[in-house]
Structure 1
Amino acid sequence: MSDYIVRATAADNSIRAFAITSKELVEKARQAHQTSPIMTAALGRLLSGGAMMGTMMKGEKDLLTLQIQCRGPAKGLVVTADSHGNVKGYANNPVVDLPPNAQGKLNVGGALDLGVLSVIKDMGLKEPYVGQCQLQTGEIAEDLTYYFATSEQIPSAVGLGVLVDKDCSVLQAGGFIIQLMPFTSEEVIEKLEKRISEIDSVTQMLEKGMTPEDILEHILGEFGLEINDTIPAQFHCDCSKERISRALSTISKKDLDDIINDGEEIEIKCQFCNRAYKFSIDELKEIRKQ
């Protein structure tokens, strides 16, 4: 498999860890939404983080949504993931161009600017769980780290990276999430903090040919890393003409009549994958009957 997530533990189960290689799914998102390099990086980071967080959920039908509302030119991002490695997402403004940041890299933080990160978990209960935090840097990995610490009280280290080629295609994409359990010893915490401060960036590790297993071994090898399982990951949208029809059936009869009276077929695009669905006048009349 090309894109996949590994789940692992270390230090006698006091550390849990996730890592992903996501080049193909981020490239699929880029092609679907025709994102500029900055937005490819922004959406790719959130897709990678969302895919890993999705596999943290236990229910077969559990769904996770990461939503960023921001005042920067990106105008916001939405990513939805399930517990099986399927993820989809979009940017409100897919084309943003800004000068490089102070480190000479794609200025994702500038594209997002100030804003709010919302994490919505639909686990089949009456109400979904919603956790929120202010964006700290807009660089996404730091924002997810802050979210875990403040909303879920789980000390975490999140690393995410997307490397974009000169032709705007995705060269590398991936990341890791490392989390401490409440019973982690101070000695382990100190060693881990030191180790994380020494490692290369995610894109540098991927450029060296490191796999998700290699990345976790590189960070956690001295803590007795145990790989628990491997999950295929993909950009997957479950939209269909039937689903769009159901959405059309919820609008008012007057609005449907206005569309029908225009006398022309309509085209509706899925926000998540940009797939277009066409509806003829006869199909619209049938929807109105229902």
Structure 2
Amino acid sequence: MGDQLIWATDRDGQIRLIAARTTELVAEAQSRHKSWPTATAALGRAMTAALLMGAMQKGEEKITLRILGDGPLGAIVAQSNAQGEVRGYVQNPTLDWPSRSPEKLDVGGAVGATGHLHVTRDLGLKESYTGSAPLVSGEIAEDLTHYFATSEQTPTAVALGVLLNEDGTVQAAGGYLLQLLPGVSEEKIEHLEKKIKELGPISYFFASGKDVASLLDPLLPEEDKKILAQKKPFFQCQCDRLRLETMLKSLGAQELAEMRKEQGGAEVVCHFCNEQYIFSVDELIALEKELE
């Protein structure tokens, strides 16, 4: 069963559901960053959240989610767009952090409950918009629920989960955003609260073999629900040699010359995808000449 994202609404357009299975996506992030269990769970949750929020964008618009807690994991950054392309990294991917129990990783403790969550919307204009909210637990889903309530004034239920095998590989991952829009009745709200409790942890839901479409009936019970979009999410980084050449040239000819003489070239590693780019002495000389 492959990864999938579905965006749907109820009959009256009062409930918005964006849900995704992200098992393959999170597994690739883990492979690229060589991340340990707690870091994998935190990064997987953040990338899934960015994917769900990015689905609401248009064209080339991008969402960047930054979680800056005071825990030992350090910064967690995830970026997504309307096409379902996602990338992300965690500052300390090889953190060895004790679990709360054999079945529960302590993501909140590793992220830290003091700090902020920032959501930046790049609309392709000169300026981008950033909304922020304090962290409440470091569990990411709870922090996002608080962000939507305080920064965007939109009641939102957020579920994010990453389930790992005993060997630390990714067994299942996914999540959903369930947003209540103006006019929703108390009866519907009570029904949704009951169904959310019945669903349980979203990672176990997907680990049981169910697909994303299986979330539509319990959370959008009307027969004439509307599916607005379906797509396959995937890990995609925008880094390439040309962009990194531009970055190197921004250092200036003198620093490039010093790098060439002291290091015999340059090695640049992309934070988001961990891809390594090597620039030889001749390539640095060519960049220096361009600057001159």
In the superposition, the TM-score normalised over structure 2's length comes to 0.94
Offset, 1:186 = 2.5
Offset, 1:4 = 1.5
- 8 Å contact kept, 2:56–2:82: yes
- 8 Å contact kept, 1:46–1:79: yes
Offset, 1:102 = 6.2
SS, match of residue 220 in structure 2: helix
For residues 223 and 69 of structure 1, what CA distance do their matches in structure 2 show?
A: 42
1:166 aligns with 2:166: yes
Offset, 1:2 = 1.7
**Which of structure 1's runs of 4+ aligned residues deviate more than 6 A?**
none
For residues 102 and 168 of structure 2, what CA distance do their matches in structure 1 show?
A: 20
1:122 aligns with 2:140: no
How many pairs align?
289
1:245 aligns with 2:245: yes
Letter in 2 for 1:264: G
For residues 104 and 213 of structure 1, what CA distance do their matches in structure 2 show?
A: 27
- Flag the 1:103–1:261 CA change in 2: closer, same or farther, 3 A: closer
Offset, 1:97 = 2.1
Letter in 1 for 2:268: I
For residues 35 and 200 of structure 1, what CA distance do their matches in structure 2 show?
A: 26
225-234 or 75-84: which moved more? 225-234
Aligned CA-pair RMSD? 1.6
SS, match of residue 143 in structure 1: helix
For residues 187 and 221 of structure 1, what CA distance do their matches in structure 2 show?
A: 13
Gaps of 5+ in 2: none
SS, match of residue 190 in structure 1: helix
For residues 243 and 193 of structure 1, what CA distance do their matches in structure 2 show?
A: 47
Which residue in 1 is equivalent to 2:175? 175
Which residue in 1 is equivalent to 2:274? 274
- Flag the 1:183–1:103 CA change in 2: closer, same or farther, 3 A: farther
Give per-residue Cα distances to partners, 1:53-90, cap 9 Å, x unaligned: 101112x1101100011110001100011110000000
Gaps of 5+ in 1: none
Offset, 1:110 = 0.5
Which residue in 2 is equivalent to 1:88? 87
Which residue in 2 is equivalent to 1:142? 142
- 8 Å contact kept, 1:74–1:96: yes
For residues 93 and 103 of structure 1, what CA distance do their matches in structure 2 show?
A: 22
Which residue in 2 is equivalent to 1:69? 68
Once the two structures are superposed, the pairs formed by residues 46-65 of structure 1 within 5 Å of their partners are 46-58=46-58, 60-65=59-64
- 8 Å contact kept, 1:199–1:219: no
Give per-residue Cα distances to partners, 1:109-154, cap 9 Å, x unaligned: 0001122100000002231110001111111111111111111111
Offset, 1:184 = 1.6
Offset, 1:223 = 7.6
Offset, 1:207 = 1.8
SS, match of residue 195 in structure 1: helix
1:100 aligns with 2:99: yes
Identity of aligned residues (%): 41
Which residue in 1 is equivalent to 2:5? 5
For residues 281 and 160 of structure 2, what CA distance do their matches in structure 1 show?
A: 46
- Flag the 1:51–1:23 CA change in 2: closer, same or farther, 3 A: same
For residues 102 and 282 of structure 2, what CA distance do their matches in structure 1 show?
A: 57
Letter in 1 for 2:107: V
- 8 Å contact kept, 2:163–2:204: no
Which residue in 1 is equivalent to 2:29? 29
In the superposition, the TM-score normalised over structure 1's length comes to 0.95
For residues 93 and 223 of structure 1, what CA distance do their matches in structure 2 show?
A: 46
Letter in 2 for 1:72: G
220-229 or 167-176: which moved more? 220-229
SS, match of residue 272 in structure 2: coil
For residues 155 and 220 of structure 2, what CA distance do their matches in structure 1 show?
A: 16
For residues 153 and 223 of structure 1, what CA distance do their matches in structure 2 show?
A: 29
Which residue in 2 is equivalent to 1:288? 288
- 8 Å contact kept, 1:263–1:281: no
- 8 Å contact kept, 1:45–1:140: yes
